[in-house]
Amino acid sequence: MKVEKIIFAGKYIKYKLFAKHKKGFGIHSPFLYRFVSEVLYGERYFYAYDDIAELRYDMLDSKEKIKVKDFGSGSRVMKSDRRKIKDTVKYSAISEKYGEMLFRTIEYYKPKTILELGTSLGLGTLYMALPDKKATVYTIEGCPETAKIAAQNFKRLGAENITQIVGNIDEKLPELLNNIKQLDFVFFDGNHRKQATLDYFYRCLEKTGKDTIFYFDDIRWSKEMEEAWEEIKANEKVRLTVDLFFSGFVFFGKELSKQNFVVKF
Ligand SMILES: C[S@@+](CC[C@H](N)C(=O)[O-])C[C@H]1O[C@@H](n2cnc3c(N)ncnc32)[C@H](O)[C@@H]1O
């Protein structure tokens, strides 16, 4: 085993053993308590969970291959540019557990303007679009063939509130932000490089309001991503951050004290 893998495993074991606040126990901040107990560990069931799960299983059964154009930091597992759809689902798509948590987040805070960087096959997009059909979800994907499958998925589940943008986030994000007054929720999940992540963060930061929430995936994907997460947490506009080890939430509410919580999930 490589040294980095051993260090990563050690960090994960430490997180699993020592991360506090499981199910909200011992949390004093009412805002954080509600987030942990009602969103992270919320037990309500939604029909859309089953619709998205069925779509996932159909793609996992698919034998179809598509030609993939990789813009980001690439995949550690998939090296060929002709990829089976089912492998993209397995290795790149949001999991059921995290997707349903994302759904509960949107359902609970009711953001009206949502942005996703990195659509892939659209599973994460659907978890954010289906809680409230009146919200608008913008999603940017660089790979045209992947985006085409995502478009079919959106149609199948009747998610007409999704606006798909195909192209490089580096170019499409500034164009989109010129036409948006405020971002209420942003899911950062494309291009897991430090500089790109920070560039997208600073651009989106210009469009935050007091209730805006940012959600970053893969904050421990690499040393670079960990450095990006550290810089984001330290930003003066950022108040509360919630570290779930693989991903992290950022809240901006001025009433919140500047703190980072590591929460077991
Ligand atoms: C981890 S996947 C996204 C998973 C998806 N958000 C979900 O919840 O299932 C990352 C996606 O970002 C796309 N991507 C990476 N860098 C990009 C860039 N610079 N511009 C556009 N898309 C990019 C990749 O093509 C890939 O489909």
Mind listing the pLDDT tens digit for each residue in 185-210?
Answer: 999 999 999 999 999 999 999 999 99
Residue nearest to atom 27 of ligand 1 (CA): 120
Pick the CATH number of 3-262 from 3.40.50.1100, 3.30.450.40, 3.40.50.150, 3.90.850.10: 3.40.50.150
Instruction: Report how far ligand 1's centroid is from the alpha carbon of 60 (Å).
Output: 19
Residue environment code for 137-156, b if the CB has 16+ CB neighbours within 10 A, otherwise e: bbbbbbbebbbebbbebbee
Helix (H, G, I), strand (E, B) or coil at 165: strand
Instruction: Report how far ligand 1's centroid is from the alpha carbon of 191 (Å).
Output: 6
User: Max CA-CA distance within the chain?
Assistant: 51
Closest CA to 182 of 214, 204, 162, 215: 204
Question: Element (H or E) spanning 104, and its range?
Answer: helix 96-109
**What is the share, in percent, of the chain residues with pLDDT greater than 70?**
94
Decide if 226 contacts 220 (C-beta within 8 A).
Answer: yes
CA distance 100 to 47: 11
Output DSSP code: residue 38: I
Q: Is 92 in the pocket of ligand 1 (CB under 6 A)?
A: yes
CA distance 57 to 21: 33
Output DSSP code: residue 244: -
Whether the pLDDT of residue 76 is over 80: the answer is: no
Whether the pLDDT of residue 74 is over 90: the answer is: no
Tell me the per-residue pLDDT of 85-122, one tens digit each, with 9 for 90 and over: 999 999 999 999 999 999 999 999 999 999 999 999 99
**What is the share, in percent, of the chain residues with pLDDT greater than 90?**
83
CA distance 243 to 14: 13
CA distance 205 to 106: 19
Phi/psi region, residue 153 (left: phi>0; alpha: psi -120 to 50; beta: rest), is alpha
pLDDT at residue 240 in the model: 96
Q: Closest ligand 1 atom, CA of 118? A: 12
**Mean pLDDT within 205-222:** 96
CA distance 16 to 109: 27
CA distance 21 to 262: 8
Split at pLDDT 50, 70, 90, the class of 253 is: very high
Split at pLDDT 50, 70, 90, the class of 72 is: low
Site to substitute for ligand 1 among 85, 117, 127, most atoms within 8 A of C-beta: 117
Site to substitute for ligand 1 among 137, 143, 247, most atoms within 8 A of C-beta: 143
CA distance 32 to 25: 11
Q: What is the mean pLDDT of the chain?
A: 93
Cα dihedral sign for 251, 256, 257, 261? negative
pLDDT at residue 22 in the model: 62
Closest CA to 188 of 247, 137, 134: 247
Q: Is 168 in the pocket of ligand 1 (CB under 6 A)?
A: yes
